[in-house]
Structure 1
Amino acid sequence: MAERPRDPNTEEMAALPAPAPAGEDPTFAELLALRRQLTMDPAAGLMMEGVALAAIARAHGTPTWVYSAGTLRRRLGLLQGALDDARAKAQVHFAVKANPNLAVLRTLAEAGAGADVVSEGELRLARAAGIAADHIVFSGVGKTLAEIRYALAEGIQQINAESAEEVEMISAIATAMGVEAPVALRVNPDVDAKTHAKITTGKSENKFGIAIGDAPALYARMASLPGIRPVGVAVHIGSQITAGVSAYRIAYGHLADLVRALRAQGLPVERVDCGGGLGIPYRDEPPPAPAALAGAIAATLGNLGVELMVEPGRWISGPAGVLLASVILQKTGAERRFVVVDAAMNDLVRPAMYDAWHGIVPVSPADYVAPIAPCDVVGPICETGDTFTRNRGLPSLDPGSLVAFLDAGAYGASMSSTYNSRPLAAEILVDGDRFAVVRERQTQEALLAGQKLPSWLAGAT
């Protein structure tokens, strides 16, 4: 029997350095100690698994996303193992929105993950990655008619409906197609997950799901409609949840009460979709471990005799990725030093959008041990918001020096854009001592492709 991966949130913690004092950023060594896929080689510099990041930069340039296949597999295995140990065995559906790279999805599919999708595009990617249709859940508050038709034609495992109006849409489409749609009802339990306001999804003022008090009547309505087979209930209370698992326990407790109430009405409930949202430590915050989440599921839902599902995204892929960037120049301003890199907010928007903190580590072994001083790390985009961090301790960095933005494997490339007409960055997958391009860098020509001049401007040059 293969050895189960160790959980970095449990037994490995004893070997780690003490957390940085309150208000102080962790050191480079402390950041790497928590990320076992990254090591500093005294000759080759920062390594991901067995590959030098400097070698990737020489071969493919920057900015470039780099993903660790070993980390993807390991973290999926940790979550699956925690669920099994808690006797809360559940299907794991990776949230494709976190990282829709085809090679990432194939790596997870080969390790047993299904997919949680929120668009036709994500569904097509999941299928192209080899994920079986009956291992795909379609979530999202605004599915179009075309998307529902496509999902039903593919024969996916279930659609998570989020409104009475959507339920009626699904019924009409399925009836016209002559198929039966497996539908779970997503409920909003009005639980505050204590996460960023822009990524909380389980409070009553959020746009997601059905108010839990309205769910019994709507579930009964689903059971009476043609073309719909009610299969269960679903919940998702937010993303990057790090304030313990109490919010999960409360939400899942409400869900368990709902299942019992539905069954008391004679309504069938086969499945409970527990959602995702488990957070990761970007800085030095202690997130809940997978075992804690599994325990919350087992304690509240484990005795209901239902199929269980979870939909992690960030927890699996976030730590697996870095954004590799080159220093363009250092600029000494009137009040501070600016390190200008060739990555920008169009690549990694999280700091600008969420005030998110990402570790930044020099790639060169000499830079890694050089004295540090405060600086602002910024990109070249014409926005003041194109700032990755302020007053971060970094060494003096010459033009061409490399830095790695840590924990960029979730909501990094998937949220990038071509703002300021900047091509999308390349994506690389590392697996042991080998690496390959898994998405080519967008060319300048590709940025123009598809644009056309109207006839009255045909003579323009």
Structure 2
Amino acid sequence: MDHFIYRDGRLHAENVPVAEIAAAVGTPFYVYSTATLLRHFTLFDDALDWGPHLVCYAMKAASNQAILKTLAQAGAGMDVVSGGEYARARAAGVPGERIVFSGVGKTHEEIRAALIGGIRQFNVESEPEMRAISEVATALGVVAPITIRVNPDVDAKTHAKIATGKSENKFGIPIAKARAVYAEAAALSGLKVIGIDVHIGSQLTQLEPFRQAYQKVAELTEQLRADGHQITRLDLGGGLGIPYTRSNEAPPLPSDYGDLIRETVGHLGCEIEIEPGRLIVGNAGILVSQVIYVKQGEGRDFLILDAAMNDLIRPAMYDAHHEIVPVVEPDAGVDLAPFDIVGPVCETGDTFAKGRLMPPTAEGDLLAFRGAGAYGAVMSSEYNTRPLVPEVLVKGDQFAVIRARPTFDEIINRDTIPQWL
């Protein structure tokens, strides 16, 4: 569910007409719904209300300060994967004890910053990283709380580029080595082992891969406790998918996911952490673009938009599908025609859809990409010296620009000319 609906034939973001935002900020732009963000966070929080838990928003999905602050005020923790994301979370007012640090390549500088600023735990990805965390913590005279991310070799049945729980993936340590690695961690003076971490991938549309992974985590918990480790927290990752197409079977609900967690690991008495990102923010955002030209080609027609792959790279990178709808609602029963929907970047890969059936569309019309809140703005770039597009947050009948579009001068002036030129 989202809060982008047609009213009187015009697409609205909550109570604000999308065309009104376009007139104020120009196209293309991202717009997010506060009501959708909060609803989706609450669904996860409620799904785990049977025991102690923390929902840590995976801020790599969308990391604007306004989004982080909205979720933090609702009680969310944050899952960060870089020093920059850690700094963003702290700048948004999230206390260190509600920040989990994930990611396979934590540097000594990032580890130090998190230990000084406060951290709930590091999710350790490898033995060398574990030793590095202990070394930095010891030098600071503190003890770093850690979980160790285990790779359960479970096929998440998702896109190969976002699968993280198979043996050939770069993430975590093989679960077969876990007991030996935990034994080493317990012997390092700068570390305090508090739990286990697992994350098998993103955009999962079935619960069975989660079940397989969590059953392995439950077995490992019992083994580690028998070895003398105090396992009090289970970080179960995120990855629950969203329905990018309305015709597809809907992914499981957060309530179903919560029931599965209770069934597989609830008997262990551990505090549960989950790290949803896409499901919280994906359907909470749309990308709005304007048609520049309608072009007739050889055997196909094109809608050329002012948005491009640098603004929304998911279709080019993942062959991802986004529903693309007109901001002005078409008449019922109107004839549809196939179009390739493309951007102006000088790459054939700058294609959002091929042969997409669309209602009659003219130059100047506004189109909206649904389900664009996750991995949209955060993955955008200034390729072709195209400015990053504005981000807008809506709450009820109000909207605010939460990231402005830079000018060409601002982009160019970031460059520095050597003195010999």
TM-score band by shorter chain is over 0.9
Question: 1:329 pairs with 290, 293, 310, which one?
Answer: 293
Is 2:182 the partner of 1:254?
A: no
Is 2:115 the partner of 1:152?
A: yes
Q: Deviations over 1:187-241 (max 9, x none)?
A: 0000001000000000000000010011111111111111111111100000000
Q: Distance in 2 between matches of 1:435 and 1:199?
A: 33
Q: Deviations over 1:375-417 (max 9, x none)?
A: 0100000000000001111123222110000001100001001
Identity level (%) = 54
Query: Does the CA contact (< 8 Å) of 2:38 and 2:71 recur in 1?
Result: yes
- Return closer, same or farther for 1:369/1:131 CA change in 2, 3 Å cut-off: farther
Aligned residue in 2 for 1:231: 194
Is 2:389 the partner of 1:425?
A: yes
Q: Distance in 2 between matches of 1:132 and 1:169?
A: 24
Is 2:62 the partner of 1:99?
A: yes
Aligned pairs for 1:326-365 (under 5 A) are 326-365=290-329
Q: Distance in 1 between matches of 2:331 and 2:362?
A: 10
Q: Deviations over 1:256-315 (max 9, x none)?
A: 111110110111111100000000000133211112211111011101111110000001
Aligned residue in 1 for 2:376: 412
Question: 1:142 pairs with 105, 108, 114, which one?
Answer: 105
- 2:264 maps to a residue whose letter is T
Q: Distance in 2 between matches of 1:135 and 1:369?
A: 51
Query: Does the CA contact (< 8 Å) of 1:133 and 1:154 recur in 2?
Result: yes
Number of matched pairs: 419
- 1:103 maps to a residue whose letter is A
Query: Does the CA contact (< 8 Å) of 2:156 and 2:209 recur in 1?
Result: yes
Is 2:11 the partner of 1:46?
A: yes
**C-alpha RMSD over aligned residues:** 1.2
Q: Distance in 2 between matches of 1:431 and 1:153?
A: 35
Is 2:176 the partner of 1:210?
A: no
- 2:126 maps to a residue whose letter is S
Q: Distance in 1 between matches of 2:188 and 2:287?
A: 49
Query: Does the CA contact (< 8 Å) of 1:362 and 1:368 recur in 2?
Result: no
Deviation at 1:365, TM superposition (A): 3.3
Aligned residue in 1 for 2:266: 302
- 2:156 maps to a residue whose letter is A
Deviation at 1:42, TM superposition (A): 2.2
Query: Does the CA contact (< 8 Å) of 1:160 and 1:234 recur in 2?
Result: yes
Aligned residue in 2 for 1:456: 420
- 2:325 maps to a residue whose letter is V
Q: Distance in 1 between matches of 2:189 and 2:412?
A: 47
Query: Does the CA contact (< 8 Å) of 2:51 and 2:271 recur in 1?
Result: no
Aligned residue in 2 for 1:58: 23
- 1:231 maps to a residue whose letter is I
Query: Does the CA contact (< 8 Å) of 1:88 and 1:297 recur in 2?
Result: no
Query: Does the CA contact (< 8 Å) of 1:361 and 1:368 recur in 2?
Result: no
Is 2:230 the partner of 1:264?
A: no
- Scaled by the length of structure 2, the TM-score of the pair is 0.98
Aligned pairs for 1:371-386 (under 5 A) are 371-386=335-350
- Scaled by the length of structure 1, the TM-score of the pair is 0.89
Extract structure 1 runs of 4+ deviating beyond 4 A. 366-370
Deviation at 1:366, TM superposition (A): 4.9
Question: 1:170 pairs with 133, 136, 141, which one?
Answer: 133
Of 362-371 and 159-168, deviating more is 362-371
Aligned residue in 1 for 2:79: 116
